[in-house]
Structure 1
Amino acid sequence: MRIHSENSFLPTLEARHASFTQVEKNIADFFMKNTEKMDFSTKNIARLLFVSEASLSRFAKKCGFRGYREFIYQYEKSLQDSERMGETVKAEEVLLNYRELIEKTYSLLDERQVSKIVKLLYRMPRVLVCGNGSSGLAAREMESRFMRIGVDIDSVFEPDKMRMRSVFLTKDTLVIGFSISGETQPVLYLLEQAHQRGAKTVLLTSKDDRRFDSYCDEVLLLSSLKYLSSGNLISPQFPLLLMMDIIYNEYVSANRYEKEALHDDTLRALSSKEERRTQVW
């Protein structure tokens, strides 16, 4: 749908269309339908529309301009305004999709289940979080954030390494798998092997499949991008990051003073490392 800015004169062309001659109507139709920047010189447009340059001049004056040059100046400005309006609409569409995901997350959220997962994070000596592709990026983010508040956590995001790590899992480990599709075989394999070795297992996925219950202690459902009007515009790890924030917030809230102190200590440690590096250089 074409969007006109408030100062656009295109609605004027539409309003006056009935009073134009056939030649003028052809010219008006061209400018109303065109959405691309090009060479708008009288010579080029006359050639494209099979009209004379004098016809373009008369048309511009009939539209209320002093001449074709003034007409084109306002027309190009209108095109720029339309592009900016189009960008705003596209941005709004993305933001609406994010809001929809947040609302879906809220409707799916089981706070008791989140509390169970937080208790596992406190209870288990070691945590391993895994994911592939964009889910792997979310796994690395979880490792980074929870490590800073004292959790003994590691992440793995390469399929071969997931299979290798499954051999060394014990009952002292909590394995958290990220798979939005619920079909990432290396992640599901690691969770199955972890369950067989007595480890606690949690899966974050948008797929509600009872088969996961056979080897997952908790299956935390995520909002899906699949049915959004522009789901391909949304970062695929967003539902995971959103749920991670919810878990993180509850984990920290259980002992906020201690966790915030640990977080500050890790930031100071990183800062002192950068200072030493600067001094060396």
Structure 2
Amino acid sequence: MLSYNKSVIPVIESAYDDLTNVEKSIADYFINYVNGEDLSSKAVSRRLFVSEASLSRFSKKLGFRGYREFLFAFQGSTKSEKNLDILTRQVLNSYQKVLEKTYSLIDNEQMIRLAQMLDLYERVYVYGIGSSSVVAREFKLRFMRLGLDVDYLAEAHSIRMNITRVNKLSLVIGISVSGRTEEVVEGLKTAKEKGAKTIMLSAAKVYEYRSFYDELVLMGGLKNLAISDKISPQIPALIMIDILYTHYLHYNKANKDEKLKMTLEHIDYELEE
């Protein structure tokens, strides 16, 4: 059975772009930390040539009450050495890392809340460009089986034109690994202006766009994920979609099971026991 190390590293990485240069130097130190070094605030401040106040501000920006709380969480994380000599192992380790980051970032209460939210709106629209369009399409196919009225838009012109269909009874979900895909961000912004409920699924917190969506779902990203360095860039998003789908299936389960059964009967597919 796999076990996952709950780490604060994904939290640091998700907030990285919003950090000051001093805070980024602190972030880099902890991301690349070597076991055995003294992590007291005095020792770290001397080592990095930063003030202890900077360590405190860095910790608070990540959501901790101070450096002591951050350090407690960080020291609770464990790292294991991995043999990266074999190419196949590199890929498998990348998947393991994504799963560990997902485990660290997942907000179970948010998943329950979003699953229930899906049934509150007349129509759900999912926006995704490039590799994210694969996730948007998968979202539609998965949730449509359970009777959700959902559509996906996968290119800039379609997203812009879709604004005529968006209203206060719409739920609009944007998918962007970087959190900065222009068409997706603009689509959420205009949808929110029309009174729709909006959700962003991203591997980064981009504070300048935070007012454009009501919910931010953080997924576990990897360096160079967007260019498919080792694994497909849509993998972290698909994991989050699977978690949301599972919660949605079990919310008002009897009704969902009936709709799924009806769908499968029409495509002549039988579930295995």
- For Structure 1 versus Structure 2, the TM-score category normalised by the shorter chain is 0.5 to 0.7
Asked whether the 8 Å contact 1:169–1:199 carries over to 2, the reply is yes
Q: Which amino acid aligns with 1:243?
A: M
Cα deviation, 1:36-84, whole Å, max 9, x if unaligned, reads xxxxxxxxxxxxxxxxxxxxxxxxxxxxxxxxxxxxxxxxxxxxxxxxx
Q: Which amino acid aligns with 1:120?
A: M
Query: Which residue does the alignment assign to 2:94?
Result: 97
Q: CA deviation at 1:204?
A: 0.2
Q: Which amino acid aligns with 2:267?
A: L
Cα deviation, 1:174-193, whole Å, max 9, x if unaligned, reads 00000011111111111000
Aligned-partner Cα distance in 2 for 1:234–1:185: 24
| Partner SS state of residue 217, structure 2 | strand
Greater relative contact order structure (CA < 8 Å, 6+ sep): 2
Asked whether the 8 Å contact 2:116–2:251 carries over to 1, the reply is no
Asked whether the 8 Å contact 1:130–1:139 carries over to 2, the reply is yes
Aligned-partner Cα distance in 2 for 1:135–1:239: 10
Are residue 164 (structure 1) and residue 161 (structure 2) matched?
A: yes
Select the structure of larger CA radius of gyration: 1
Query: Which residue does the alignment assign to 2:186?
Result: 189
Equivalent positions of 1:23-102 (< 5 A) are 89-102=86-99
Q: CA deviation at 1:113?
A: 1.6
Aligned-partner Cα distance in 2 for 1:115–1:176: 16
Judged with a 3 Å threshold, the aligned counterparts in structure 2 of structure 1 residues 227 and 164 are, in CA distance, closer, same or farther, namely closer
Q: CA deviation at 1:96?
A: 1.2
Are residue 250 (structure 1) and residue 258 (structure 2) matched?
A: no
Judged with a 3 Å threshold, the aligned counterparts in structure 2 of structure 1 residues 231 and 104 are, in CA distance, closer, same or farther, namely farther
Aligned-partner Cα distance in 2 for 1:251–1:98: 25
Q: CA deviation at 1:227?
A: 6.6
Query: Which residue does the alignment assign to 1:106?
Result: 103
Q: CA deviation at 1:231?
A: 6.1
Q: CA deviation at 1:130?
A: 0.9
| Partner SS state of residue 169, structure 1 | coil
| Partner SS state of residue 124, structure 2 | strand
Q: CA deviation at 1:167?
A: 2.9
Q: CA deviation at 1:255?
A: 2.4
Query: Which residue does the alignment assign to 1:147?
Result: 144
What TM-score, normalized by structure 2, do the two folds share? 0.64
| Partner SS state of residue 233, structure 1 | coil
Q: CA deviation at 1:108?
A: 0.5
Aligned-partner Cα distance in 2 for 1:195–1:163: 13
The 4+ residue runs of structure 1 with deviation greater than 4 A are none
Query: Which residue does the alignment assign to 1:201?
Result: 198
| Partner SS state of residue 223, structure 1 | coil
| Partner SS state of residue 203, structure 1 | strand
Asked whether the 8 Å contact 2:124–2:150 carries over to 1, the reply is yes
Q: CA deviation at 1:260?
A: 2.3
- How many correspondences in the alignment? 185
Q: Which amino acid aligns with 1:270?
A: I
Asked whether the 8 Å contact 2:180–2:206 carries over to 1, the reply is no
Aligned-partner Cα distance in 2 for 1:227–1:158: 23
Q: Which amino acid aligns with 2:155?
A: E
Aligned-partner Cα distance in 2 for 1:244–1:265: 22
Asked whether the 8 Å contact 1:97–1:231 carries over to 2, the reply is no
Aligned-partner Cα distance in 1 for 2:228–2:137: 23
Aligned-partner Cα distance in 2 for 1:231–1:113: 28
Q: CA deviation at 1:219?
A: 0.6
Query: Which residue does the alignment assign to 1:18?
Result: none
Asked whether the 8 Å contact 1:212–1:219 carries over to 2, the reply is no
Query: Which residue does the alignment assign to 1:219?
Result: 216
Higher helix proportion: 1
| Partner SS state of residue 176, structure 1 | strand
Query: Which residue does the alignment assign to 1:128?
Result: 125
Q: Identity of paired residues, percent? A: 39
Q: CA deviation at 1:264?
A: 2.2
Q: Which amino acid aligns with 2:253?
A: R
Query: Which residue does the alignment assign to 2:262?
Result: 265
Cα deviation, 1:107-146, whole Å, max 9, x if unaligned, reads 0111122222112102111100010011001000000000
Query: Which residue does the alignment assign to 1:174?
Result: 171
